[in-house]
Chain A
Amino acid sequence: MSQSFLRIQQLDKRFGQDQILKNITLDLSEGKTLSLIGASGSGKTTLLKIIAGLESADQGEIYLREKQINALLPQQRKIIYLYQDALLFPHLSAFENIAFGLKLQKAKNITTQVNAMLDKLGMKDQGHKMPNQLSGGQKQRIAFGRALVIQPQLLLLDEPFGALDPEIRTHMQKLFKTLVSSQNLSAIFVTHDLKEAIIIGDNIAKIEQGSLIQYDSKKAFYQDEKSGVNDEILFWKHLKNETNED
């Protein structure tokens, strides 16, 4: 196993009387994607926001490239948190949305970089369009481009394809895999969908009532009775048998 890129140790978070996260320990290797599954309200979003610096932990340490980042502001972490909603800046065009982070960095050759990103996203001729002129899938692609163009250290995705229809969702999953591997990015991908978690993730973790279980391998995940994989397999086998009987 390669060296730990992101390491979280004994992290706790409470909101009033409710303990949202309990003793969370997590490891992520460089260039890998961790799929994080769990029911609604299990603490997935809170964990991602703590890693991004948008929420603070009550206890515990977060290390990125072996450097503790607990005290760093979100602006200093180079960790991008992507929401289910693409959240494009509505007053900026697709091109300007992608260029946003580059302009803040006062980067050189912004136009070339943005055009190259639009090309990668398959939206070469759409840069002039305003967000309200784009479809849901196109908006999500621009949101990806806006995040990836500034070469973040880590990408946090909170059910980014949850609102897309199945066909576009499949396309976006492929695009995500391609973009992440081409930039050797590390990512944590939150999803409700077991199939999506397996397709996207190199590793899988699960949050249940604030506690996190990280599986050593995908096989270990499949073998866990509580993972829901066996129930899924049984459902499809049952359906197949029924179809054959008909």
Chain B
Amino acid sequence: MMSKVLKYIYVLAVVFPLVFLLGLSLAQQWQFPEILPQQWTFQHWGKSLFQEGDILKSLFLSLGLSLTLASLVSVLAFFISKFIAYSKYRQIYMRLTLVPYILSPVVLAVIFQYYFTLANLSGNFIGVLIAQLFFALPFGIVIFNNFWNNKLKSIEQLSFTLGASSRQSLLKVIIPLSKPAIVLCFFQSFLVSWFEYGLTQFIGLGKVKTLTVMVFNFINEANLFYAALACVLLVLPPIVLLYMNKKVLILAR
């Protein structure tokens, strides 16, 4: 009984904000103390997705940025963390990995800003991607850190003695075994990038308008209906990814 109640509370906690935001994005007029909007419209959706297309553009920009970053982090963190895990300087490297977390992303952006301007990386997609990579890569390394252990090293060595080359061992043994860690790293890095605001705004100079940046802009403009619309689009990809993540992890087990 208790678990059922908790389940309903959980579903309500997830579904209610979504329904509320969707309602707000379809409202033309919604004044206190009305429970529901007085007027409904598809105008905001039509305008932002098809006529002006600015939110749709931001959605694809965000998807491109987050998917690229998540892929890069998953691949780089996989190999770097392996190197660190089997190094005799593991402790030192892991401490260095945590340095970006001592500073907040915005402080990190202030430090990088000068060099990004020099390298002509400010205000463009590549610059924001590199800036986010500085922050997300250590995060990926931390996720993979505990995955590399003596048992996995022994399994890899055993595959060598059975005749597998380093490449064959990687493709046929290590990657299949690390699927849950790779999926987790991809998902977490995607979320870090997807909801990133300060670093993106600072290095992107407001020119790289991701969906998160757009939401903040709409809120600053007190444009509630468009902010709600952007929010709906903002929460959908993580939900889809969460669902896929769960499926892949279950299959991997």
- Residues of A that sit less than 8 Å from B by CB: 52-54, 73-75, 77-83, 85, 87, 89-91, 100-101, 104-105, 146-147, 150
Contact = CB atoms under 8 A, between A and B. Distances in A.
Nearest to A55: B157
Interface in B157-175: 157-165, 168, 172-173
Nearest to A74: B160
B177 interface: yes
Instruction: Give the residue among B154, B160, B163, B164 with the most A Cβ atoms within 10 A.
Output: B163
Contact of B158 (A77, A83, A90): A83
Nearest to B165: A75
B64 interface: no
A104 B163 contact: yes
A77 B177 CA distance: 26
B163 A81 contact: no
> Majority SS of interface residues in chain B?
helix
Given A89-B173, A90-B177, A91-B176, A147 B162 contact: yes
Given A75-B161, A81-B158, 15 more contacts: A74-B157, A75-B160, A75-B164, A79-B161, A87-B151, A87-B154, A87-B155, A90-B177, A91-B177, A101-B162, A101-B163, A104-B162, A104-B163, A147-B162, A150-B162
B164 A81 contact: no
Contacts of B163: 75, 78, 101, 104-105, 150
Nearest to B162: A101
Contacts of B154: 83, 85, 87
A85 B149 CA distance: 14
Nearest to A73: B160
Contacts of A85: 151, 154
Nearest to A79: B161
B162 A80 contact: yes
A52 B176 CA distance: 25
